[in-house]
């Protein structure tokens, strides 16, 4: 868990001013396109009636390896499972809430039970669809992390998603990859080694640890940069892999900081925070602990994702507030 060089300064999310941003939805398909040139096992199964951007480029070059099934996500998973049984590495991409909820039976029985190398790219993560409760993808971690054989990964930015795609090709068993609808802040400013299942220290500190995943890594780094000027040392753990969880990184953070905050764009129940709480309960670990995310006592309202992050308290300002509270 060597320190990685991340962006300096603070994100101004209220003005949508991100220091640098990129779209994982575009970059991952571009990387898949490059990998497919050398690996004929890679196929793409879509569940939409149209193509755009990088997906269209993939279709044009590999028309026999781009399989559309229409708006029928259950069929998408079934086709991918059949391709995997034939020795292919299928990547399926679709609207997150439908891939997580509508296809659960097929993922459970056709993919996880036979332990097939199907890659489920779950888009529009968290609140990024900005399309209301029916289209928010806020239960996928809870569902996918409970399935036997499933690896569940949330890249912290688009460049990390590219690294993950490279590692995913030969990874054993099924995998779900959670990415946002559009561009998000880039976290890392230099190259680094990436390993599925190994957390990354995105910011050093010994007063409190923020365990984050996806967009909240950038939010936590922004908060850490601000509080560093006040003499508060915030460790940010980029917990990009929810399953298998890097338990040793959490144990070390508890031992060295004694205070843990989790931050996620998901219901606080059965998400990243619950995964960390499960470990602490199982091993009798008792740090000061707080979970940030979406309360599951009601569906979140319709709105812009960045406005909702602030409203629900896990934007950079919300994380700073939680850090000050846990420090007393």
Q: Is the pLDDT of residue 50 over 70?
A: no
Distance, in Å, from the CA atom of 149 to the CA atom of 254, rounded to the nearest integer, reads 28
| pLDDT, the chain, mean | 93
CATH code, 145: 3.40.50.970
Are residue 79 and residue 164 in the same domain, yes or no? yes
* pLDDT digits 0-9 by tens, 249-299: 999 999 999 999 999 999 999 999 999 999 999 999 999 999 999 999 999
Among 166, 185, 204, identify where a domain stops: 185
Mean pLDDT calculated for residue range 181-202 = 94
Structurally, the chain folds into a number of domains equal to 2
Residue 5 belongs to some domain of the structure: no
Is residue 179 scored above 60 in pLDDT?
yes
Q: Which of 170, 185, 200 is the last residue of a domain?
A: 185
Whether 152 and 268 share a structural domain: no
pLDDT tier, 4 (very low <50, low <70, confident <90, very high otherwise):
low
Is 90 exceeded by the pLDDT of residue 88?
Answer: yes
pLDDT at 137 over 80: yes
In a domain, 177, yes or no: yes
Residues 64 and 174 placed together within one structural domain of the fold:
yes
239 & 274 share domain: yes
Residue 302 lies in a domain: yes
Bridge partners (DSSP) listed for residue 238: 200, 212
Residue 174 domain-assigned?
yes
**pLDDT in the model for residue 8:** 84
179/191 same-domain check: no
Torsional class of 307: left (φ above 0), alpha (ψ -120 to 50), beta (otherwise): alpha
| Mean pLDDT of the region 135-154 | 97
β-pair type (66-68, 42-46): parallel
Distances (CA, A) of 254 to 60, 95, 168, 316: 50, 36, 30, 22
In a domain, 283, yes or no: yes
Query: Same domain for 44 and 180?
Result: yes
Is-cis flag, bond preceding 244, omega within 30? yes
181 and 250 co-located in one domain? no
Judged against a pLDDT cut of 90, whether residue 58 lies above it is answered with: no
Do 52 and 198 share a domain, yes or no?
A: no
Q: Do 154 and 26 share a structural domain?
A: yes
- pLDDT above 90 covers a percentage of the chain that reads 82
pLDDT of 317 > 50? The answer is yes
Domain boundary among 185, 200, 224: 185
Q: How confident is the model at residue 2 (pLDDT cuts 50, 70, 90)?
A: very low
91 against 2, higher pLDDT: 91
Strands 21-23 and 183-185: antiparallel
Do residues 100 and 267 touch, judged by C-beta distance below 8 A? no
Do 27 and 172 belong together in one domain?
yes
What residues contact 20, with CB distance under 8 A and at least 6 apart?
A: 7, 185, 186
> Does the residue 86 lie in any domain?
yes
**CA-based nearest residue to 178, from 131, 140, 132:** 140
CB 223 within 8 A of CB 316: yes
Spacing of C-alpha 155 from chain mean position: 5
Domain that holds residue 151: 21-185
11/78 Cα distance (integer angstroms):
41
Say what percent of the chain tops pLDDT 70.
95
pLDDT in the model for residue 14? 55
320 vs 227: CA distance, rounded Å: 7
- Taking a C-beta distance cutoff of 8 angstroms, is the pair 90, 119 a contact? yes
Separation of first and last alpha carbons in the chain = 28
Domain for residue 3, yes or no? no
53, pLDDT greater than 80? no
pLDDT bracket for residue 234 (50, 70, 90): very high
Which range among 18-27, 66-75, 129-138, 229-238 shows the weakest confidence by mean pLDDT? 18-27
- Chain position carrying tokens 């688009």: 158
Is the pLDDT score of 1 beyond 60?
no
Contacts 24+ apart (CB under 8 A), 298-306: 299/133, 299/136, 300/127, 300/133, 300/136, 300/138, 302/130, 302/131, 302/132, 302/133, 303/130, 304/130, 305/126, 305/127, 305/128, 305/130, 306/13, 306/14, 306/16
Q: Are residues 87 and 167 in the same domain?
A: yes
Q: How confident is the model at residue 48 (pLDDT cuts 50, 70, 90)?
A: low
CA dist., res. 146 & res. 150, Å (int): 8
Please tell me whether residues 225 and 164 are part of one structural domain: no
CA 157 – CA 284 distance, rounded (Å): 33
Q: How is residue 277 written in tokens?
A: 């709480």
User: What average pLDDT does the segment 199-225 reach?
Assistant: 97
pLDDT of residue 52: 63
pLDDT tens-digit profile of 157-169? 999 999 999 999 9
The domain that holds 280 is classified in CATH as 3.40.50.920
In a domain, 270, yes or no: yes
């Amino acid at each position: 868990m060597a320190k990685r060089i991340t962006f300096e300064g603070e994100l101004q999310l209220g003005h949508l001013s991100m220091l640098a941003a990129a779209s994982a939805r575009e970059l991952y398909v571009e990387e898949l396109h490059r990998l497919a040139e050398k690996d004929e096992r890679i196929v793409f199964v879509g569940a939409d009636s149209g193509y755009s951007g990088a997906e269209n480029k993939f279709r044009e070059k590999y028309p026999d390896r781009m399989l559309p099934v229409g708006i029928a996500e259950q069929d998408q998973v079934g086709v991918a499972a059949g391709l995997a049984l034939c020795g292919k590495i299928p990547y399926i991409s679709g609207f997150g809430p439908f891939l997580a909820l509508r296809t659960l039976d097929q993922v459970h029985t056709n993919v996880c039970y036979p332990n097939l190398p199907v890659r489920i790219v779950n888009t529009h993560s968290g609140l990024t669809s900005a399309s209301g409760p029916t289209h928010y993808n806020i239960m996928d971690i809870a569902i996918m992390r409970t399935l036997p054989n499933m690896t569940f990964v949330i890249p912290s930015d688009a460049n990390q998603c590219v690294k993950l795609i490279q590692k995913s090709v030969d990874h054993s068993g099924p995998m779900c990859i959670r990415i946002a609808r559009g561009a998000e802040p880039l976290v890392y400013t230099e190259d680094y080694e990436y390993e599925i299942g190994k957390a990354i220290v995105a910011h050093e500190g010994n007063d409190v640890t923020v365990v984050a995943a996806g967009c909240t890594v950038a939010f936590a780094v922004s908060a850490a940069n601000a509080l560093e000027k006040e003499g508060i040392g915030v460790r940010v753990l980029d917990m990009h892999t929810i399953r298998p969880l890097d338990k040793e990184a959490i144990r070390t953070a508890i031992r060295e900081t004694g205070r843990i905050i989790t931050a996620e764009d998901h219901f606080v129940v059965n998400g990243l925070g619950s995964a960390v709480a499960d470990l602490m309960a199982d091993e009798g670990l008792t740090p000061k602990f707080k979970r940030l995310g979406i309360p599951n006592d009601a569906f979140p309202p319709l709105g812009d994702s960045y406005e909702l992050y602030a409203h629900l308290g896990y934007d950079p300002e919300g994380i700073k507030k939680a850090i000050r509270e846990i420090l007393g």
